[in-house]
């Protein structure tokens, strides 16, 4: 571990990353690669800012909700200012007139209620006015998920980008079933910033773009998308994160004296739905392709969010112990013994410390403090030695993807240090 002197400078470095990625009221995930405001990245950014600048934590969340659509949908990217460094930009999404800020047409894992609550717990007096303003917006967003993205209590995604785990092995089956015919010619920008072997493949990108075109053709209409998007996969990340977010929203409702029957109903629905994600063959929580009913059949970091959702699972505890034995690093995005594991390729193997941070929050809540502490120590050592990168090789700890990354610096300040 680091000594006290290193710690001081690491905290300063982490704060400098957040300041450096601050574009005035909102953060970009990292300069260059991701020049806009991303939805769940901003939740983590708020958690980081809440450790040293509470007003800035609130503005992160409030700027995010400035892009909420009248339907309640909160987009996964807000294009506040044009930037040619990222593809696909606003012109490709074709969402003009649908929301108050140029944006994508899909959402992302709803961590905002949880980080609103955690920020409020550090700022009870001055934070009241902020939770009063945010509460109805959070409620509308969660209601949108429950109305338009919920199948038998499981939250499904209509695009891999919606899940936040873009090229996870979980999508291999449903993505293989898509024939990306008729996509417009395009030039990727991500591979100009990052080594292509750390990024999704061309086959993935063709399908990402095909799905954006399909959403655009449907006018991003929620009912039509639920019916006709070629990609419709029940996702443990989304289901667990929304379940947790509803529990935190319930706490905010109690604080504000709001009626909470609707939220309690959602929690019951999602608790039942989450059980459907368990693969009866393995006991592991897995994605389900709603076109075929097939479980994905592999262990990803999404399954370790069960405790974060308030769900106990001895099978996943066993998987966690196996992951601890297999590597000295935090839990990877894909089980290392899986034939499809790829140590450097984005969501198909690398370790994402923000996923470990919320996994640990859940482990603490569910009475597994030693396992949570193990994740924290491993993450702290990794970040202290290798910096605040986007993700890391789970065998060597080598940093990968974008550098000076907002959510990595944020979880250092809020949890790992
Ligand atoms: C990654 O996703 C974006 C598309 O949304 C991309 O690769 O272009 C994912 O890691 C996602 O979870 C994250 O929110 C985003 C920004 O950090 O990057």
- Report residues whose beta carbon is within 6 angstroms of any ligand 1 atom: 29, 34, 38, 40-41, 76, 161, 164, 166, 190
Residue whose Cα lies nearest atom 4 of ligand 1: it is 161
Of ligand 1's listed atoms, the one at least distance from the Cα of 190 is 8
- The string of pLDDT tens digits covering residues 152-166 is 999 999 999 999 999
Range of the domain at 148: 4-416
Determine which helix (DSSP H) or strand (DSSP E) holds 295, and give its type and residue range. Answer: strand 294-295
166 catalytic per annotation: yes
Could you say which residues of the chain have pLDDT below 70?
Answer: 1-7
Number of domains within the chain: 1
| pLDDT score for 7 | 64
In the set 22, 166, 204, 289, the catalytic residue is 166
Q: DSSP string covering 260-286, please? A: -HHHHHHHHHHHHHHHHTB-TTT--B-
- The string of pLDDT tens digits covering residues 10-34 is 999 999 999 999 999 999 999 999 9
Looking up residue 163, the CATH number of its domain turns out to be 1.50.10.10
Residue whose Cα lies nearest atom 17 of ligand 1: it is 29
Of ligand 1's listed atoms, the one at least distance from the Cα of 407 is 17
- The string of pLDDT tens digits covering residues 176-193 is 999 999 999 999 999 999
190 catalytic per annotation: no
Q: In whole angstroms, give the CA distance from residue 169 to residue 160.
A: 11
What φ, ψ does residue 388 adopt, rounded to 5°? -100, 60
Residue among 208, 203, 260, 197 nearest 231 (CA): 208
Q: In whole angstroms, give the CA distance from residue 315 to residue 86.
A: 40
Judge if ipTM > 0.95: yes
Distance 45 CA to ligand 1 centre (A): 14
This prediction has a pTM of 0.98
| pLDDT score for 3 | 53
Q: In whole angstroms, give the CA distance from residue 400 to residue 390.
A: 6
- As beta bridge partners, residue 34 has 30
Q: In whole angstroms, give the CA distance from residue 395 to residue 35.
A: 30
Of ligand 1's listed atoms, the one at least distance from the Cα of 347 is 10
In the set 222, 235, 286, 390, the catalytic residue is 390
The answer to whether 148 and 222 are in contact (CB under 8 A) is yes
């Amino acid at each position: 571990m680091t000594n006290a002197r290193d710690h001081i400078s690491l905290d300063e470095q982490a704060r400098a990353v957040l300041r450096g990625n601050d574009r005035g009221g909102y953060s970009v995930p990292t300069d260059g690669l991701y020049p806009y405001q991303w939805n769940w990245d901003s939740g983590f950014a708020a958690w980081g800012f809440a450790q040293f600048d509470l007003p800035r934590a609130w503005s992160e969340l409030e700027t995010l909700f400035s892009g909420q659509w009248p339907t309640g949908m909160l987009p996964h990217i807000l294009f506040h200012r044009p930037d040619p460094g990222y593809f696909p930009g606003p012109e490709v999404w074709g969402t003009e007139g649908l929301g108050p800020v140029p944006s994508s047409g899909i959402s992302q894992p709803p961590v905002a209620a949880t980080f609103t609550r955690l920020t409020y717990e550090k700022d009870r007096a001055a934070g009241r006015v902020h939770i009063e303003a945010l509460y109805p917006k959070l409620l509308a967003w969660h209601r949108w998920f429950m109305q338009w993205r919920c199948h038998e209590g499981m939250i499904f995604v209509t695009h891999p980008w919606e899940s936040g785990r873009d090229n996870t092995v979980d999508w291999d089956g449903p993505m293989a079933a898509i024939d990306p015919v008729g996509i417009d010619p395009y030039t990727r920008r991500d591979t100009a910033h990052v080594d292509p072997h750390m990024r999704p493949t061309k086959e993935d990108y063709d399908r990402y773009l095909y799905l954006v075109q399909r959403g655009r053709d449907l006018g991003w209409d929620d009912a039509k998308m639920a019916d006709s998007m070629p990609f419709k996969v029940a996702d443990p990340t989304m289901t667990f994160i929304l379940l947790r977010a509803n529990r935190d929203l319930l706490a905010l409702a109690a604080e504000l004296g709001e009626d909470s029957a609707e939220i309690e109903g959602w929690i019951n629905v999602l608790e039942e739905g989450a059980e459907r994600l368990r693969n009866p063959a393995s006991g592991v929580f897995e994605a389900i392709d709603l076109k075929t009913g097939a479980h994905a059949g592999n262990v990803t970091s999404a399954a370790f969010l069960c405790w974060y959702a308030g769900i106990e699972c001895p099978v996943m505890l066993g998987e966690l112990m196996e992951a601890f034995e297999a590597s000295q690093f935090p839990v990877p995005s894909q089980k290392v013994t899986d034939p499809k594991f790829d140590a450097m390729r984005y969501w198909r193997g690398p370790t994402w410390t923000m996923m470990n941070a919320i996994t640990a929050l859940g482990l603490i809540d569910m009475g597994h403090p030693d396992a949570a502490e193990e994740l924290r120590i491993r993450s702290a050592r990794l970040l202290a030695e290798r910096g605040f990168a986007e993700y890391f090789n789970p065998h060597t700890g080598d940093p990968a993807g974008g550098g000076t990354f907002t959510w990595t610096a944020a979880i250092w300040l809020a949890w790992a240090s």
